[in-house]
A = this chain, B = another copy of it.
Amino acid sequence: MRCLIAQAEVLAFIERCMLAVGSKPSHAKSLAEVLVEGDRRGHYSHGLNRMDVYVKDVQTGICAKEGEPVVEKETVATALVNGSNLLGPVVGNFCMDLAIKKALNVGIGWVVAHGSNHYGIAGYYSMQALRENMIGMSYTNTSPLVVPTRAKERTLGTNPISVAAPAQDGDSFVLDMATSAVALGKIELYDRRGDIIPEGWGCDAQGKLSTDPGKVLDGGGLVPIGGGEVTGGYKGFGLGMMVEVFCGMLAGSQYSRYIRTWKGTDRVADLGQCFVAINPANFAPGFNSRLSDMLSLHRTLEPAKPDMEVFTPGDPERIHISRCEELGGIPYHINVVKFMNDCAKKIRVEPLLPCDRLISDS
| Chain B min CB distance to A297 (Å) | 6
- Report the bound CA distance from A297 to B258 in whole Å: 11
A135 in the interface (beta carbon within 8 A): yes
| Chain B min CB distance to A120 (Å) | 19
- Kindly identify which residue among B106, B107, B150 contacts A304, using a CB–CB cutoff of 8 Å: B150
Q: Which residues of B contact A244 (CB under 8 A)?
A: 294
- Report the bound CA distance from A237 to B358 in whole Å: 36
- Report the bound CA distance from A77 to B283 in whole Å: 12
Q: Could you give, for residues 198-227 of chain A, a 1 whenever the CB lies within 8 Å of some chain B CB and a 0 otherwise? A: 111101001110000000000000000111
Q: Which residues of B contact A242 (CB under 8 A)?
A: 163, 173, 175, 313
User: A7-15, A85-93, A284-292, A329-337: which one contacts chain B?
Assistant: A284-292
A70 in the interface (beta carbon within 8 A): no
Contact between B227 and A200, CB atoms less than 8 A apart: yes
Contact between B303 and A252, CB atoms less than 8 A apart: no
Q: Which residues of B contact A294 (CB under 8 A)?
A: 241, 244, 248-249, 255-256
- Kindly identify which residue among B207, B249, B282, B291 contacts A75, using a CB–CB cutoff of 8 Å: B282
A101 in the interface (beta carbon within 8 A): no
Q: Which residues of B contact A107 (CB under 8 A)?
A: 75, 77-78, 110
Contact between B301 and A151, CB atoms less than 8 A apart: yes
A69-112 CB contacts (< 8 Å) to partner B: 73, 75-78, 80, 106-108, 110, 112
Q: Which residues of B contact A237 (CB under 8 A)?
A: 313
Contact between A290 and B257, CB atoms less than 8 A apart: no
User: A26-34, A228-236, A347-355: which one contacts chain B?
Assistant: A228-236
Contact between B200 and A231, CB atoms less than 8 A apart: yes
Q: Which of A177, A226, A244 has the most CB of B within 10 A?
A: A226
- Report the bound CA distance from A74 to B182 in whole Å: 40
A357 in the interface (beta carbon within 8 A): no
Contact between B234 and A227, CB atoms less than 8 A apart: no
A65 in the interface (beta carbon within 8 A): no
| Chain B min CB distance to A295 (Å) | 9
- Report the bound CA distance from A181 to B236 in whole Å: 10
Q: Which residues of B contact A198 (CB under 8 A)?
A: 230-231
Q: Could you give, for residues 173-204 of chain A, a 1 whenever the CB lies within 8 Å of some chain B CB and a 0 otherwise? A: 10101000110000000000000001111010
Check A304/B249 contact, CB under 8 A, given A73-B282, A241-B175, A278-B110.
no
Could you list 19 examples of A-B contacts with CB < 8 Å?
A75-B108, A75-B282, A78-B279, A78-B283, A106-B106, A108-B108, A150-B303, A150-B304, A150-B308, A152-B301, A181-B232, A227-B231, A234-B313, A248-B294, A249-B290, A249-B291, A251-B284, A252-B283, A256-B297
Interface residues of A (CB under 8 A from B): 73, 75-78, 80, 106-108, 110, 112, 114, 135, 148-153, 155, 161, 163, 165, 173, 175, 177, 181-182, 198-201, 203, 206-208, 225-227, 230-232, 234-239, 241-242, 244-245, 248-253, 255-257, 278-280, 282-287, 290-291, 294, 297-298, 301-305, 308-313
